[in-house]
Structure formats: structure tokens, C-alpha cells
């Protein structure tokens, strides 16, 4: 089989599902096929040194376990080994299950643990009970997965294809497990391009993915570094929530010679198992629009108790979308700029760009990132790029040690038309970014040149102050029967004793029912006089409920004032204006608001918590608006001509039918 034809190899492996049909549910196919594929790959990797390891195992069987393990690892020339003389091709047809589990138990610790995450033994027993185990073992023994034929990168593609098939067969979302390789390649290229100063010979660089899935980003970054530099050690770190994806990632790292203890299983947001890590490069594709309710207590506690000493100091997004939490998590792992800083590439949907108004958690997170000059570029991707969704997505590139020419500004790149059509859709993925378009996007990013598709904006261009615009309260008052009835339904009036309530009603009915007061003071003077005549004393809440119920808004009425003569504002007419950050709010108000509403004023009580200035600071990145190009409508003559042509065609069709 062609070395490059990974899809064909994956399809051939998946054909084992034909044996399982009837005895296993569709949703279980992957739980059999994935661990067997891993087992065969590990077996093929160890094959060249197998005889030497068996001889060494016998020679050193009396030595301590630690010493023996070190000797066997050296003999295997891999970070794992197997001391069983068995192989998939030599398992007995009479006691296949016992032989197979003995073979698995003979792996070194890290390799053996991988199969625990698949609950492999349970499925082995199920296969044996249905008389399928030997057949399945023979099928996998015949698959050639030697590294000489299929590279580690190619094996990653095969695993991804198998997981996608598994996800489709069990109605799961494949996108939760891995990112398409074209997106991985583009994101990695954007983050690592121009970083040769960090990739000098004999240096060590650390790469981290907090939602590493099957390890696509980790593998790609390792391959990228090895291609562009020599003698650089790449230390890969990751954490993954899904046990099976974690097991595949761990196996991939084992085969690559990475330290598998740097790959962790668990929820990154609630249980960061690499909390001391500071990475040079970070790459992530956290789940889009997934709520974080399950970990809300742990995340909120960290935000409240640790503040900026924890990961989530700047703020918390709404519970329905946790993607910005992953971004903050990555920011917390950036190296000090004085030690070289860090670069991040993270794929997000559109929501983190603009969701949440001034003062919201999302806005405060954007504010923190932009005011600390961490956002280097945002690239808008084509739609239909992912296996489980066709939505618009964006790559954010962050850097806490920007080069001088990028400081204080953000580059936005519209790459929505940089794609090629797939010959065959894979789930929702109908388009991909080919190598030519990847190169073009990376060149656009690196060139620093402005164009229709690449624009630069100062950080503060995304900020604004949301000021409160107040309008005066203007009311008229009338003791009409309808308004008196409305007043009697008010809670403070209903709480009065019967005698007082009847007295209030009588006092209101004494007022001229036809008179409409346009001044609150004049109305209150007459109301209080009638209440006094009837000997009724009321508290402030009851008195307020009377004039509230007997009033209606009237733009022609006098302005209401408080005891100190200050204008009262009308909450129904209250509005807000977003003033560009850096512009004087009063000058903006005089220019943009006053000409339209001359009686308005700025509510100065609403001030920003951080700087104490009037108005709440907000940040948003209106990506699509900044690239919008107005398309004028077609001339009316053209539209009329089209309509006439359609009408004529319909008439002809009707005539043909009636003929």
C-alpha cells in the first residue's frame, strides 16, 4: 500500500468492524479497533529489537525491577518494551484471551497502562465469548504498521480517521477529539514562524496543549521544529479529558520517545495537573461553545480566592461557553518576557471576539489581553473547516514579548476565502486549507503589510466607554377614576388598614377628576392638603405609590426634581452610548447626543471599577464589521428585466400544461 495513503490504511483497519457486526453495538466498534491498532503499532515499533530484549530479560531476571527496566529500555531502543515471546501473529487459537492478556501484561508500565484506559480486557473477554477474538487478532496481525512504512505523523492521521469513523458510528462529535490536520498545520506555522532565535542548536523548547486530544498539535509542532532546525529538543506537554484520546496521545508520545509523564488525564479547568509548567509555545483547540457548569465551583473559587495569583483573575465568561477560560489558562503559563516570553495559538469561535458588553467577564478578559499588549494577530478562517461544525472560527495568536514593530497593535487577517473544496465531505468538513493557502496566510501574517485582507489596529481601537445617558422625568397627574383604581391596586396601599385605605380613596376623589396637573409639586400640595383635611398620615412609600399610580409620562409636563432641586431621571428613557476609548466623554456627548436630545445629561455615578472614570470600559473586536465591503444593490432595470423573464417563462409553462 502507498505510504501516503493513510485513508486507505484506516479504511482497511476499520473493515474489521464487519466481523463485529451483530455481536457488538456500532458504538462499541471503536473501543475494539482503536486499542488493537495501537497494540499492532507498538508491536511493529518493537519488532527490530525484540530478540535482543527477550535475551536481556532472561539474562537480567534476577536483578531489581528498576535496574532491569533501565537495561531493557536501553536494549529496546525505545521508551517502552515487551518481555513476552508472543506476538499477535503467534497467539494460540485455543487460549487466545489468556495469551493476549499475558502479552499485554508483559509491556513496560506506561505502555501497559494505555490499554487500561480502553477497558481492553473487558472487550477481549466479550470477543472471546462470541468466538471472534482469534479472527480479530489474525486480521490485525496481518496489518503492516512498521515505522519504515508509516511515519509517526502518518500514524496520527490514521488514528484520527479511525476516531472520526468511531464518532460517526456512535453519533459522537469527532471534533471533540481532534483538530483537522490542515488547521493544526496552519496554527503551528503561525506560532512557530520567525522563532528561529528560540530554536538554536542544542536548545530545549517546551510545547503545551491543554486540550491535547490525540496529540495532533504536539506531533505537528515537534515535526515542524525538526524540519527547520537541528539538534533542538522539543519537550511536549498536554492534558486531555477523554480517556481514549488520552491513551492514543500517550501511545504516540511513547513511540516518539517523549516523556509520557508529561501527558495528563483530567479536566484542565478544574484540575490543572501541570500547574508549575511555563511553556515556550502553546497550541490549543478547546471545544467550541461548551458550558463549564460541571467545573463552575472550582473555577469560581479560584477566581474569587486567588484573583490574579490564579489563572482566572481578569474575569469569568458566561457559563454557556468556557473557551475564554482555556485562553486565560494558557496565558497563566506564559514565561516571563525577560526570559523570552511565550507564544500562543488558539482556535476559537466568534463568540470570544464580541460577546458580553462593557463590564462583563468576556469584555474584562479582552481588556486584560489587549491592555497588556498580548494579542498579536487574529485570523478569520473559512467556514466548514471542522468535522462537527460549519461555524466561523478564528485563530488567535498571542505573544507577551512582541517584536518592536508589532507592539501596541493587533493584526487582523481575513482568510475566509483561503480554502480548497474537499473531494468528499468528512462530517461537516467540506473545505480545507491547502498548502498554497497556508503559505499565503503565513506570508500575510509575517509581511506586516496592510491590504484589504490584512489590517492593523492600535489596541485601544477596540476599547470604548459605555456612558449612561439620562433624560429628565416629566409626569402629569390626574385623579381620574381609572387612575384611582390603579392606585388602589398598589401593594403599599393594599397593606394599609381598611379605614386608612378608604380615607386615601376619599382624599383622591375630592381632587378635580378632570384637572391634569403638569407640575408634581402643585399636585402633591393639593393631595397632601386633602389627606390632612381627612386626618390621614402616610409614610413615604404609601405617598409615593399614590402619585406614581396617578401619574403618566408626558413630554410637555414640567421636569420633576428632588428635595435638593436636582433633576430626576426617567429610567424608561435611560440609554447608553459607547464612546471610543481615549476620547473625552463630554466632548463626544456634546457632539453626538446633545443635538438630538437637548435635555439629556451624562449619569456620572456609573464609573469604571478599575480607573474610576465616568463610564464602564468595554472591549470588543468587531472582526466582520472591520472587513465589511458595501455591495450596492443591482439597478432596478436589471431586477425588472429578470422579473419579466421569469413571469414570461411561468406563463409559457402554464400554457403548455393547459394545451
Contact 261, 187 (CB under 8 A): no
Confidence check: pLDDT of 4 > 50: no
Q: How confident is the model at residue 509 (pLDDT cuts 50, 70, 90)?
A: very high
The reported pLDDT for the residue numbered 72 is 92
C-alpha cell at 172: 459522537
Contact 378, 395 (CB under 8 A): yes
The reported pLDDT for the residue numbered 3 is 36
- Name the CATH superfamily, with its identifier, for domain 173-462: Vaccinia Virus protein VP39 (3.40.50.150)
40 — phi, psi (to 5°)? -65, -40
C-alpha cell at 659: 394545451
What pTM was computed for the model?
A: 0.84
- CA dihedral for 258, 261, 267, 268, sign (positive or negative): negative
Confidence check: pLDDT of 215 > 50: yes
Q: Which residue has the cell 428632588?
A: 562
Q: What is the pLDDT of residues 363-394, one digit of tens each?
A: 999 999 999 999 999 999 999 888 777 889 99
Q: What is the pLDDT of residues 397-440, one digit of tens each?
A: 999 999 999 999 999 999 999 999 988 877 778 899 999 999 99
Q: Which residue has the cell 416629566?
A: 474
Q: How confident is the model at residue 174 (pLDDT cuts 50, 70, 90)?
A: very low
- CA dihedral for 285, 288, 293, 294, sign (positive or negative): negative
479 — phi, psi (to 5°)? -95, 50
Q: Structural domain boundaries of the chain? A: 1-167, 173-462, 475-553
Q: Which residue has the cell 487459537?
A: 93
Q: What is the pLDDT of residues 262-313, one digit of tens each?
A: 999 999 999 999 999 999 999 999 988 889 999 999 999 999 999 999 999 9
| Percentage with pLDDT > 70 across the chain | 97
Residue 443: count other Cβ atoms within 10 Å of its Cβ.
11
Contact 212, 286 (CB under 8 A): no
The reported pLDDT for the residue numbered 29 is 87
Mean pLDDT of all residues belonging to the chain = 91
Which residue in 345, 305, 522 sits closest to 441, CA to CA? 345
Contact 299, 318 (CB under 8 A): no
Q: What is the pLDDT of residues 229-245, one digit of tens each?
A: 888 999 999 999 988 88
Contact 324, 365 (CB under 8 A): yes
Amino acid at each position: 500500500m502507498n505510504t501516503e495513503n493513510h485513508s486507505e490504511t484506516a479504511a482497511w483497519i476499520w473493515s474489521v468492524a464487519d466481523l463485529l457486526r451483530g455481536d457488538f453495538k456500532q458504538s462499541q466498534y471503536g473501543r475494539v479497533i482503536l486499542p488493537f491498532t495501537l497494540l499492532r503499532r507498538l508491536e511493529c515499533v518493537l519488532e527490530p529489537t525484540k530478540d535482543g530484549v527477550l535475551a536481556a530479560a532472561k539474562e537480567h531476571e534476577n536483578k531489581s525491577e528498576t535496574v532491569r527496566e533501565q537495561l531493557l529500555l536501553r536494549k529496546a531502543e525505545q521508551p517502552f518494551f515487551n518481555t513476552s515471546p508472543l506476538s499477535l501473529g503467534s497467539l494460540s487459537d485455543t487460549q487466545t484471551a489468556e495469551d493476549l492478556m499475558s502479552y499485554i501484561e508483559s509491556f513496560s508500565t506506561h505502555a501497559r497502562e494505555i490499554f487500561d484506559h480502553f477497558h481492553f480486557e473487558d472487550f477481549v473477554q466479550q470477543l472471546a465469548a462470541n468466538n471472534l477474538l482469534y479472527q480479530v487478532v489474525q486480521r490485525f496481525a496481518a496489518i503492516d504498521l512498521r515505522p519504515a512504512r508509516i511515519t509517526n505523523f502518518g500514524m496520527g492521521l490514521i488514528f484520527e480517521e479511525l476516531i472520526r469513523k468511531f464518532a460517526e458510528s456512535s453519533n459522537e462529535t469527532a471534533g471533540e477529539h481532534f483538530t483537522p490536520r490542515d488547521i493544526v498545520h496552519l496554527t503551528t506555522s503561525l506560532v512557530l514562524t520567525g522563532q528561529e532565535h528560540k530554536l538554536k542548536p542544542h536548545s530545549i523548547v517546551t510545547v503545551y496543549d491543554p486540550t491535547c486530544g490525540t496529540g495532533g498539535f504536539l506531533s505537528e509542532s515537534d515535526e515542524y521544529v525538526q524540519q527547520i532546525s537541528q539538534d533542538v529538543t522539543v519537550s511536549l506537554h498536554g492534558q486531555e479529558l477523554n480517556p481514549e484520546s488520552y491513551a492514543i496521545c500517550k501511545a504516540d508520545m511513547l513511540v516518539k520517545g517523549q516523556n509520557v509523564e508529561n501527558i495528563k488525564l483530567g479536566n484542565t479547568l478544574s484540575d490543572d495537573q501541570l500547574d508549575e509548567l511555563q511553556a515556550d509555545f502553546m497550541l490549543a483547540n478547546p471545544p467550541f461553545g461548551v458550558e463549564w457548569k460541571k467545573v463552575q465551583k472550582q473555577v469560581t473559587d479560584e477566581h474569587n480566592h486567588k484573583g490574579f495569583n490564579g489563572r482566572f483573575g481578569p474575569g469569568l465568561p458566561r457559563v454557556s461557553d468556557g473557551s475564554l477560560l482555556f485562553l486565560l489558562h494558557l496565558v497563566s503559563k506564559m514565561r516571563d518576557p525577560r526570559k523570552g516570553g511565550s507564544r500562543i495559538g488558539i482556535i476559537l469561535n466568534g463568540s470570544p471576539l464580541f460577546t458580553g458588553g462593557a463590564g462583563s467577564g468576556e469584555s474584562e478578559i479582552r481588556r486584560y489581553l489587549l491592555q497588556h499588549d498580548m494579542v498579536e494577530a487574529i485570523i478569520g478562517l473559512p467556514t466548514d473547516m471542522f468535522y462537527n461544525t460549519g461555524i466561523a472560527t478564528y485563530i488567535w495568536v498571542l505573544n507577551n514579548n512582541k517584536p518592536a514593530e508589532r507592539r501596541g497593535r493587533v493584526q487582523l487577517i481575513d482568510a475566509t476565502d483561503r480554502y480548497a473544496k474537499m473531494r468528499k465531505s468528512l462530517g461537516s468538513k467540506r473545505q480545507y486549507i491547502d498548502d498554497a493557502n497556508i503559505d499565503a496566510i503565513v506570508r500575510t501574517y509575517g509581511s506586516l503589510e496592510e491590504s484589504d485582507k490584512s489590517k492593523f489596529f492600535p489596541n485601544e481601537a477596540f476599547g470604548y466607554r459605555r456612558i449612561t445617558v439620562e433624560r429628565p422625568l416629566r409626569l402629569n397627574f390626574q385623579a381620574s377614576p381609572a387612575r384611582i383604581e390603579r392606585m388602589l391596586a398598589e401593594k403599599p396601599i393594599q397593606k394599609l388598614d381598611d379605614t386608612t385605605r378608604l380615607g386615601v380613596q376619599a382624599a383622591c376623589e375630592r381632587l378635580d377628576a378632570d384637572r391634569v396637573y403638569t407640575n408634581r409639586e402643585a399636585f402633591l400640595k393639593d393631595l397632601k392638603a386633602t389627606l390632612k383635611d381627612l386626618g390621614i398620615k402616610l409614610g413615604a412609600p404609601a405617598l409615593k405609590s399614590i402619585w406614581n399610580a396617578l401619574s403618566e409620562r408626558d413630554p410637555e409636563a414640567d421636569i420633576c426634581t428632588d428635595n435638593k432641586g436636582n433633576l430626576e431621571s426617567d429610567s424608561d428613557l435611560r440609554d447608553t452610548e459607547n464612546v471610543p476609548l481615549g476620547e473625552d466623554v463630554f466632548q463626544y456627548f456634546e457632539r453626538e447626543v446633545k443635538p438630538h436630545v437637548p435635555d439629556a445629561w451624562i449619569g456620572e455615578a456609573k464609573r469604571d471599577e478599575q480607573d474610576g472614570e465616568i463610564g464602564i470600559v468595554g472591549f470588543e473586536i468587531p472582526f466582520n464589521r472591520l472587513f465589511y465591503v458595501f455591495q450596492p444593490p443591482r439597478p432596478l432595470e436589471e431586477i425588472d428585466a429578470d422579473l419579466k423573464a421569469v413571469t414570461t417563462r411561468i406563463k409559457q409553462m402554464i400554457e403548455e400544461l393547459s394545451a
